[in-house]
Amino acid sequence: MNIKRKKNCKKIFLFFLLAGNLSALAQFNTLWPKEKIKEDVVNEVIEETQSVTPKQTVKIEEDKRYVIDGMMKRQNLALPIDELKINSKFGYRSDPFTGKRTFHRGIDLDADFNYVYSIMPGKVIKSGKNKTLGEFVQVEHGEFMTTYGHLFQRLVRGKEAVEAGQAIGISGSSGRSTGEHLHFQMSHNGKIIDPVPVLIYISYIMQETKKELENAISSFNINK
C-alpha cells in the first residue's frame, strides 16, 4: 500500500470520526492517557523486579518485551492478523470463479495458517460454516460487526465473549476460495464499510502506543 493511498485512507477515516461513525475512543475506550500509560509501565516493571535477588542483575531490556506486550493488550485494539498484506481490495472486482464484475464485501489478506484475532472486544454472534465463507467467525463490537472467513479452524463458539487480540481462528482456504487467505469484512450499524481505513487507524494507534511504552521504559532507571 503506497503513501498516497495511506493518506487518502486516513482522510476517509477522519471523516468517519468527525461524523461520529467510527468513534473508537468514545465507544471502546481504546486509548489510555499518556500519564496513565507511563504510571502503569513503571508499576509493572517495579512489580516484576521485586522478586529479583540481590545477586541478580536487573536488565530493563529483558523485561521490555513482556511489559510492552501486556500493555498493548490493554488498549483494546488489535489487527486481524500479524502481518497485513492485501490480496484483494474492497469493492467491485472480477469474480475469481466466474470472471463477472461483482462486489467484494471485504478484503482478502495474505495468510499461511496464521492465528486470526478479534480486532476489538466483543461477543461472538456466529461461529460456523457455509458454502461461501467456509469456516467463519462473526463478532459484534457494539455498532460494529467483523467477519473472518475461509478459516482452517474456529477457536471460539457462539455467544462467547472475546477480547481484542484474542485468537478466534486459524486461517485456511475453506468455502468458496481459490487459495489460502483471510477474508475480513466490517459493517457499521448494518452497513458494509471498507475496513482498510479502520485497520490503518488501528495500526497507527498501536505504533504510537508502542513508542510511548518503549520511551517510558527506557527513561526509567531501575537502579535509582
- The model's pLDDT over 46-68, given as tens digits with 9 standing for 90+, comes to 454 445 444 444 444 555 555 55
Answer whether residue 101 is part of any domain: yes
Do 155 and 127 fall into the same domain? yes
pLDDT at residue 19 greater than cutoff 90: no
Rounded to two decimals, the pTM is 0.66
- CATH number of the domain within which 189 lies: 2.70.70.10
State the pLDDT confidence band at 175, using cuts at 50, 70 and 90.
Answer: very high
Do 208 and 188 fall into the same domain? no
For residue range 131-151, list pLDDT tens digits in order: 999 999 999 999 999 999 999
Do 187 and 165 fall into the same domain? yes
Do 57 and 133 fall into the same domain? no
Can you give the pLDDT at residue 60? 45
Do 96 and 192 fall into the same domain? yes
73-77, 110-114, 214-218, range with the lowest pLDDT: 73-77
- Structural domain that includes position 112: 86-196
Cell numbers placing 202: 488501528
Answer whether residue 190 is part of any domain: yes
Do 73 and 91 fall into the same domain? no
40-44, 66-70, 95-99, range with the lowest pLDDT: 40-44
Answer whether residue 224 is part of any domain: no
| DSSP structure string for 61-112 | HHHHHHHHHHHHHHT----SSSS--EEE-SEEEE-TTT--EEEE-SEEEE-S
Can you give the pLDDT at residue 218? 73
pLDDT at residue 185 greater than cutoff 70: yes
Do 120 and 143 fall into the same domain? yes
Answer whether residue 15 is part of any domain: yes
Domain count of the fold of the chain:
2
Cα–Cα distance for residue pair 161/168, rounded to 1 Å: 11
Do 47 and 15 fall into the same domain? yes
